[in-house]
């Protein structure tokens, strides 16, 4: 009977893959998670102050701004593109929202005071516009995203410089202040915002048509084009999403730090890219997701925080972070290869 | 002309198998100094395999290989190169961004004692050598700025200057315009007169007859004829290439086949004067509902570009497209899809997502129809299941990663994604290439079903059998132009080859 034939064949087909093959194909998800557990275990043993509820709260707060920025970057990297302008766009958006808010008289900035909602909308419009410029450069002109966003990194830094002219602004609209530095029931708002945005990003990537397109374009761009997808539109959209997420991270970051100034977000570029890639999202596109990014965020967060709890040379910390990042990249590349072997 | 002299290369009883399939069976081949030897045969007849053995690409084979009367074995292309054998492949392997001189000396530029390149010396020597070759260009020009024909001559020149006395040219004329072909032939004749031996592989039989002294014909891994060019004709060579009487189980299409009287319904697609670079020149045709239009031509005849233009991936330099009478300008493949055009490209790599499950591969082109914002995985799987059953895709598991399926089944998946909401026009590139007989028949039946449902279908192929087994009307493309249309008349493989 035909049905018995069809019932036995898939089993035959899958059996030789076995557990080893399954683990190999899941390497990209397992490895970061193991790293996280090992790191946490190490620091918990090495330092009594690490594994406390307070410190868990610290870690969550410390990774929040990176997390918000990394949401958009995950979309970009899933499409096998890169966005180097995220930190600069975060910075300029944070500065812009302060620029449109009335500062104290001793702040020497020619700011343009507006109602809080208008300041927020203008700042969001600014980051969306910069993202749109990235998108047009990438899709219409055809500049590789690496170069295009490198230029945008400089442009956004330039706009920041023009706005603050070396000064520091402190005031942002009340809503931003609350979300950036307030808390509710002991939980910082910024952690809640980061969680909501990460969840939103996950839902979009997993359950919407657009999310599917992102994975397909990243998985095989040529095939996506031959399937009749508007690849340029999708690539453009992810660049705008990335810029807007960066902008939100920038606004809340400014409130969180309590000031808006030049070069405030410089470390966030590397941290965000590291979070996405350490989490196991493939630099070649099409594999990974927000779940991976969350694991990556915690790996970085635990590492940064834990190194402060143990007694080591503070200069050595930078080197250790670099080495861990390198290890994650090696795993990323090997995971891709192992998966391809598992598929053969 | 070369009788009585020892051949510089002599092969005896060469047999070569790839995984149990014999690509060459007991082939003898000899080449003399100062001789141009043409090779003809269908795709897969064995001529390329033989040349790769000569060029050291395939070191494993059985039979005797004698160079200058001495038994020799090449272990690599490097050995062949050292023995003075050079091969120019169909795809140019030049560096377009380097200068002509750098290309001529690629890999062995003259350097001084410090290891610095001696530019002036290199330019002077390149210029001298090229002018001896009949090419008069400034050696410091960027190679990519020169016409393709000249680039090809310079590549041949490079092979020669590196010391080759035996040159293998694989399809050198397919990208050339008639004056460029003429220039190439003049050069080849001069080289022959200087004592160089040349093997010339081509689908263009006229070209072979014009330039070569001897012609060898291959069929199914055997050498079936060797004759002086002056003593044969295009018709005789084609007959030898395809053989009469159908040796295989498959329909060999050697006899006349009647194309049906002009059936077909309304005009679905009208292409008018399409031109694209050097690849297409003023191509016009119509595709009708319920009709399969075949487009046949050799590799490089412009089929690929034509299919891309129809699907909005390439923009034509000139010319217009109209779907159902309305003029269309496709700015993306999504535009073409929404206008009712579907394409299945020739390469599986280009059309499928190997790391994604079968159902996502099938639903990708119709997600817009089945979901507004949120995905509907249950519907997707149901639709995929139906297609998998209808097309008998094995194994029938829609959740399996596509990479686990065999090639023929993958090909069916590529087709399946267009069938749930059938397009107005379906463009198929090489729909049966590399398939076994069973899978081929499946595809043929699927295409016939779709035709019966009223789709307009265009099948583009470099294999005459594919076009003959599917098409109701056939266009022959040659060097980017439509040179012949077969409609409601008798057609056969040799007539197609004759026209192309």
- Structural domain count of chain A: 1
- The angle subtended at Cα A308 by Cα A306 and Cα A309, nearest 5°, is 65
Inspect the interface and report whether the beta carbons of B371 and A219 lie closer than 8 Å.
no
Inspect the interface and report whether the beta carbons of A228 and B367 lie closer than 8 Å.
no
Q: Is a pLDDT exceeding 80 seen at residue B176?
A: no
Inspect the interface and report whether the beta carbons of A207 and B375 lie closer than 8 Å.
yes
Which range of residues forms the domain containing residue A68?
50-265
Q: Is a pLDDT exceeding 60 seen at residue B245?
A: no
Residue B2: the pLDDT is 44
Q: Is a pLDDT exceeding 50 seen at residue B122?
A: yes
**What gap in Å lies between CA A298 and CA B91, rounded to an integer?**
50
User: Which chain B residues are closer than 8 Å to A231 by Cβ?
Assistant: 332-333
pLDDT digits (tens, 9 = 90+) for A276-296: 988 888 888 888 999 999 999
Q: Which of A10, A209, A225 shows the shortest C-beta gap to B313?
A: A225
Helix (H, G, I), strand (E, B) or coil at B123: helix
Query: What is the rounded radius of gyration, in angstroms, for the C-alpha atoms of chain A?
Result: 22
pLDDT digits (tens, 9 = 90+) for A107-163: 777 788 888 899 999 999 999 999 999 999 999 999 999 999 999 999 999 999 999
B401: confidence class by pLDDT, cuts 50, 70, 90: confident
A6: confidence class by pLDDT, cuts 50, 70, 90: very low
Mean pLDDT of all residues belonging to chain B:
84
Inspect the interface and report whether the beta carbons of B334 and A6 lie closer than 8 Å.
no
Inspect the interface and report whether the beta carbons of A226 and B337 lie closer than 8 Å.
no
- Beta-bridge mates of residue B456: B291, B425
Min distance B261 CA to chain A CA atoms (Å)? 34
Q: Mutate which of B333, B366, B369, B422 to disrupt the A interface (most A C-beta within 10 Å)?
A: B333
Residue A314: the pLDDT is 78
Q: Cis link prior to B395 (omega < 30° from 0)? A: yes
Min distance A4 CA to chain B CA atoms (Å)? 12
Is B407 at the interface with chain A, CB within 8 A? Answer: no
Q: Are strands B9-18 and B62-67 parallel, antiparallel or unpaired?
A: antiparallel
Of the ranges A334-343, B28-37, B453-462, which one carries the lowest mean pLDDT score? A334-343
Residue of B335, B308, B328 lying closest to B268 (CA atoms): B328
Q: Is a pLDDT exceeding 50 seen at residue A97?
A: yes
Q: Which of B338, B372, B374 shows the shortest C-beta gap to A207?
A: B374
Residue A4: the pLDDT is 37
Residue A343: the pLDDT is 52
Q: What ipTM did this prediction achieve?
A: 0.81
User: Which chain B residues are closer than 8 Å to A207 by Cβ?
Assistant: 374-375
Select, from the ranges A83-92, B103-112, B391-400, the one with the highest average predicted confidence (pLDDT). A83-92
Residue B130: the pLDDT is 83
Q: Is a pLDDT exceeding 60 seen at residue B251?
A: no
Is B234 at the interface with chain A, CB within 8 A? Answer: no
pLDDT digits (tens, 9 = 90+) for B75-89: 888 888 888 898 887
| Residue of chain B with shortest Cα separation from A285 | B355
Retrieve residue B352's tokens: 């499928």
Q: Is a pLDDT exceeding 60 seen at residue B250?
A: no
Q: Is a pLDDT exceeding 90 seen at residue B128?
A: no
pLDDT digits (tens, 9 = 90+) for B259-297: 777 666 888 899 999 999 888 889 999 999 889 999 998
Which one has a higher pLDDT value, A156 or B253?
A156
Q: Is a pLDDT exceeding 70 seen at residue A1?
A: no
Size of interface A-B (CB pairs under 8 A): 96
Residue A341: the pLDDT is 62
Retrieve residue A65's tokens: 């701004």
Q: Is a pLDDT exceeding 80 seen at residue B73?
A: yes
Q: Is a pLDDT exceeding 80 seen at residue A27?
A: no
Q: Is a pLDDT exceeding 90 seen at residue B325?
A: no
Min distance B16 CA to chain A CA atoms (Å)? 27
Strand residues in B72-174 grouped as ranges (E): 85-88, 166-170
Q: What percent of chain B has pLDDT over 70?
A: 95
Q: Is a pLDDT exceeding 80 seen at residue A14?
A: no
User: Could you tell me if B242 and B252 are in contact, meaning their C-beta atoms sit under 8 angstroms apart?
Assistant: yes
**What gap in Å lies between CA B209 and CA B203, rounded to an integer?**
11
Min distance A80 CA to chain B CA atoms (Å)? 15
Q: Is a pLDDT exceeding 60 seen at residue A7?
A: no
The residues of A whose Cβ lies within 8 A of any Cβ of B are 6, 9-10, 13-14, 207-209, 211-213, 215-216, 219-220, 222-233, 286-287, 339, 343-344
Structural domain boundaries in chain B: 9-242, 248-340+423-500, 354-422
| Residue of chain A with shortest Cα separation from B364 | A227
State mean pLDDT over B303-327: 91
Select, from the ranges A204-208, A329-333, B445-449, the one with the highest average predicted confidence (pLDDT). A204-208
| Residue of chain B with shortest Cα separation from A10 | B395
Architecture of domain B9-242: 3-Layer(aba) Sandwich (3.40)
Looking at the domain assignment, is residue A16 inside a domain?
no
Q: Is a pLDDT exceeding 80 seen at residue B44?
A: no
Helices and strands, number each (H, E), in chain A:
15, 2
User: Could you tell me if B144 and B97 are in contact, meaning their C-beta atoms sit under 8 angstroms apart?
Assistant: yes
Inspect the interface and report whether the beta carbons of A209 and B368 lie closer than 8 Å.
yes
Q: Is a pLDDT exceeding 60 seen at residue B367?
A: yes
Q: Long-range pairs for B96-99 at CB < 8 Å and ≥24 separation?
A: B96/B142, B96/B143, B96/B144, B96/B151, B97/B142, B97/B143, B97/B144, B98/B142, B98/B143, B99/B123, B99/B139, B99/B140, B99/B141, B99/B142, B99/B143
Residue of A35, A77, A21, A69 lying closest to A287 (CA atoms): A77
Domain B9-242 and domain B248-340+423-500, same fold? Reply is yes
Is B378 at the interface with chain A, CB within 8 A? Answer: no
Q: Is a pLDDT exceeding 60 seen at residue A5?
A: no
Inspect the interface and report whether the beta carbons of B364 and A224 lie closer than 8 Å.
yes
User: Which chain B residues are closer than 8 Å to A13 by Cβ?
Assistant: 395, 397, 400, 404
Of the ranges A152-156, A247-251, A301-305, which one carries the lowest mean pLDDT score? A301-305
Residue B59: the pLDDT is 87
Residue B129: the pLDDT is 82
Residue A225: the pLDDT is 92
Inspect the interface and report whether the beta carbons of A219 and B355 lie closer than 8 Å.
yes
**What gap in Å lies between CA B123 and CA B100, rounded to an integer?**
8
Q: Are strands B21-31 and B9-18 parallel, antiparallel or unpaired?
A: antiparallel
Neighbours of A91 (CB within 10 A): 30
A3: confidence class by pLDDT, cuts 50, 70, 90: very low
Domain B248-340+423-500, what fold? Answer: Rossmann fold (3.40.50)
Q: What percent of chain A has pLDDT over 90?
A: 51
Q: Which of B353, B375, B404 shows the shortest C-beta gap to A220?
A: B353
DSSP for A109-139, written as a single string: -------HHHHHHHHHHHHHHHHHHHHHIII
Q: Is B179 exposed, middle or buried (0-12, 13-18, 19+ CB in 10 A)?
A: exposed
State mean pLDDT over B448-473: 88
Q: Is a pLDDT exceeding 70 seen at residue B335?
A: yes
**What gap in Å lies between CA A195 and CA A279, rounded to an integer?**
16
**What gap in Å lies between CA A22 and CA A19, rounded to an integer?**
5
User: Could you tell me if B210 and B204 are in contact, meaning their C-beta atoms sit under 8 angstroms apart?
Assistant: no
State mean pLDDT over B134-143: 84
Residue A13: the pLDDT is 41
């Amino acid at each position: 009977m035909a049905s018995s034939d069809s019932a036995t064949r898939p089993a035959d087909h899958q059996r030789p893959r076995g557990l080893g093959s399954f683990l190999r194909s899941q390497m990209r998800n397992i490895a970061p998670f193991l790293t996280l557990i090992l790191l946490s275990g190490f620091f918990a043993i090495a330092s009594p102050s690490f594994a406390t509820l307070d410190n868990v709260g610290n870690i969550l707060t410390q990774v929040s701004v990176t997390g918000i920025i990394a949401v958009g970057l995950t979309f970009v990297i899933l499409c096998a593109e890169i966005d180097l302008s995220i930190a600069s766009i975060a910075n300029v958006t944070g500065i812009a929202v302060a620029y449109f808010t009335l500062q104290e008289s001793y702040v020497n900035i020619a700011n343009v005071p507006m109602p809080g909602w208008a300041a927020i909308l203008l700042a969001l419009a600014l980051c969306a516009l910069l993202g749109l410029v990235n998108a047009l450069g990438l899709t219409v002109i055809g500049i590789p995203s690496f170069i295009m966003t490198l230029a945008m990194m400089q442009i956004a830094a330039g706009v920041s410089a023009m706005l603050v002219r070396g000064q520091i602004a402190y005031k942002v609209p009340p809503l931003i202040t609350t979300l950036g530095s307030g808390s509710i029931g002991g939980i910082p708002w910024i952690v809640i915002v980061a969680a909501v945005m990460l969840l939103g990003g996950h839902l979009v990537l997993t359950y919407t048509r657009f999310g599917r397109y992102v994975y397909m374009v990243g998985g095989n761009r040529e095939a996506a084009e031959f399937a009749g997808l508007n690849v340029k539109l999708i690539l453009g959209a992810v660049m705008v999403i990335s810029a807007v997420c960066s902008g939100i991270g920038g606004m809340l970051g400014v409130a969180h730090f309590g000031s808006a100034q030049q070069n405030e977000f410089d470390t966030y570029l590397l941290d965000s890219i590291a979070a996405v890639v350490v989490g196991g999202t493939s630099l070649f596109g099409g594999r990974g997701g927000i779940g991976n990014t969350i694991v990556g965020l915690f790996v970085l967060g635990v590492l940064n925080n834990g190194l402060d709890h143990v007694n080591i040379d503070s200069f050595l910390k930078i080197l250790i972070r670099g080495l861990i990042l390198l290890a994650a990249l090696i795993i990323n590349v090997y995971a891709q290869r192992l998966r391809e072997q598992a598929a053969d | 002309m070369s009788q009585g002299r020892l051949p510089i290369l002599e092969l005896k009883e060469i047999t070569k198998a790839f995984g149990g399939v014999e690509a060459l069976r007991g082939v003898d081949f000899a080449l003399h100094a100062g001789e141009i030897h043409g090779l003809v045969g269908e795709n897969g007849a064995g001529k390329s395999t033989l040349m790769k053995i000569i060029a050291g690409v395939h070191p494993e084979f059985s039979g005797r290989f004698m160079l200058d009367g001495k038994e020799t074995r090449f272990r690599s292309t490097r050995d062949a190169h050292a023995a003075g054998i050079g091969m120019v492949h169909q795809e140019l392997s030049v560096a377009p961004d380097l200068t002509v001189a750098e290309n001529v000396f690629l890999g062995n530029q003259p350097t001084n004692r410090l290891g610095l390149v001696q530019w002036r010396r290199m330019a002077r020597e390149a210029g001298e050598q090229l002018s001896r070759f009949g090419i008069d260009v400034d050696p410091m020009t960027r190679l990519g700025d020169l016409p393709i024909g000249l680039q090809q001559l310079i590549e041949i020149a490079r092979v020669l200057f590196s010391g080759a006395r035996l040159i293998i040219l694989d399809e050198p004329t397919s990208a050339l315009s008639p004056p460029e072909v003429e220039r190439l032939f003049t050069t080849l004749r001069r080289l022959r007169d200087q004592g160089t031996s040349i093997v010339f592989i081509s689908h263009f039989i006229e070209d072979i007859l014009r330039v070569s002294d001897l012609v060898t014909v291959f069929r199914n891994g055997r050498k079936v004829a060797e004759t002086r060019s002056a003593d044969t004709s295009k018709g005789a060579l084609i007959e030898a290439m395809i053989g009469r009487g159908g040796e295989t189980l498959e329909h060999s299409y050697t006899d006349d086949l009647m194309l049906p009287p002009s059936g077909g319904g309304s005009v679905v697609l009208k292409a008018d004067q399409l031109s694209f670079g050097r690849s297409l020149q003023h191509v016009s045709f119509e595709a009708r509902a319920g009709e399969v239009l075949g487009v046949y031509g050799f590799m490089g005849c412009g089929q690929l570009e034509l299919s891309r233009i129809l699907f909005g991936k390439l923009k034509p330099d000139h010319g217009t497209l109209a779907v159902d009478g309305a003029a269309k300008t496709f700015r993306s493949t999504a535009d073409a899809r929404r206008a009712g055009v579907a394409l299945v490209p020739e390469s599986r790599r280009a059309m499928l997502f190997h790391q994604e499950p079968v159902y996502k591969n099938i639903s990708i082109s119709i997600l817009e129809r089945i979901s507004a914002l949120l995905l509907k995985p249950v519907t997707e799987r149901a639709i995929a299941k139906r297609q998998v059953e209808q097309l008998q895709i094995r194994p029938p598991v829609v959740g399996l990663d596509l990479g686990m399926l065999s090639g023929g089944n993958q090909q069916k998946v590529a087709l399946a994604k267009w069938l749930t909401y059938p397009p107005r026009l379906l463009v198929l590139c090489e729909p049966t290439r590399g398939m076994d007989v069973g899978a081929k028949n499946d595809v043929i039946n699927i295409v016939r079903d779709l035709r019966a449902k009223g789709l307009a279908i265009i099948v583009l192929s470099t294999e005459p059998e594919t076009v003959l087994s599917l098409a109701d009307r056939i266009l022959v493309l040659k060097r980017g132009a439509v040179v012949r249309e077969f409609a409601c008349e008798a057609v056969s493989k040799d007539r197609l080859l004759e026209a192309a």
